[in-house]
Structure 1
Amino acid sequence: MTLARKGARRIVVDGTAYRWHAARRHLCCDYEGGTLGWVAEDAAHPGTTLVVETGRRARLSPRPTPADLILPREVATGIRTALARGWNPTVNGSPFKIDLPNSETDQGS
């Protein structure tokens, strides 16, 4: 499964480019009382998609708070964690799912 280019953001982690976005219709997130998550893939050679669940409640509000946002540093941390756990983003396969409930943005919640 590859990510749509529209709405995806680019991030470079340790010299490798990835595309990511908040998951609205993917396996991890419901956005109506569910939890906040995001998905990522290798930008040059998409293969296995990374699905990250933050464990933070997703709230629909006109003015998001910092806890409602997914920051690039959180994505970089998630990508590094997934790689350390065996995610191989350039090989085709089922989505690689991880939970990161203690992300950097949780500290202020």
Structure 2
Amino acid sequence: MALVKKGSRRIVVDGVEYRWRVSRRHWCCDYEGSTLGYVVEDTARPGTTLVVETGRPSASVPDTARGEVVLPGEVAAGIRAARSNGWTPGSSGSPFKLHLSAA
């Protein structure tokens, strides 16, 4: 699964360039679409996509605080956590899922 270029943002983490975007698709996070998440892929060698579930509520959920956003620093931390947990972005395969705490 390749990340759509439109709407994605560039980030460089430890000298490697990635693309990322907030995802509102049901395959990203929970089935109700109530959890904020994002997807990441290596720009130079797209392969296995990283799917990160933040554990925070999405702005689409009623009665939640507006303004829940994903910041580049959070994305960089998620990429580093995924890499240390075995994500190899240049290899082929199904998406690598990372669940982060809401804390």
- The TM-score normalised by the length of structure 2 is 0.87
- The answer for unaligned runs of 5 or more in structure 1 is none
Shift of 1:31: 9.4
Give CA-to-partner distance per residue, 1:57-88, whole Å, 9 cap, x none.
11238x942xx100000000000000000000
State yes or no: 1:11 paired with 2:11. yes
Give CA-to-partner distance per residue, 1:37-75, whole Å, 9 cap, x none.
0000001110000000011011238x942xx10000000
State yes or no: 1:56 paired with 2:56. yes
Task: Name the CA distance, whole Å, in 1 between partners of 2:66 and 2:38.
Answer: 16
Shift of 1:28: 2.2
Q: How well do the aligned residues superpose, as a CA RMSD in angstroms?
A: 2.1
State yes or no: 1:46 paired with 2:46. yes
Q: Structure 1 residues 74, 87: closer, same or farther in 2, change over 3 A?
A: same
Identity of aligned residues (%): 59
Are the counterparts in 1 of residues 26 and 32 from structure 2 also a CA contact under 8 Å?
no
- Opposite residue 82 of structure 1, the aligned amino acid is A
State yes or no: 1:82 paired with 2:68. no
Q: Partner of 1:3: helix, strand, or coil?
A: coil
Match in the other structure for 1:35: 35
Over 2 Å off, 4+ runs: 28-33
Q: Partner of 1:81: helix, strand, or coil?
A: helix
| Aligned residue pairs, count | 100
Task: Name the CA distance, whole Å, in 2 between partners of 1:30 and 1:81.
Answer: 20
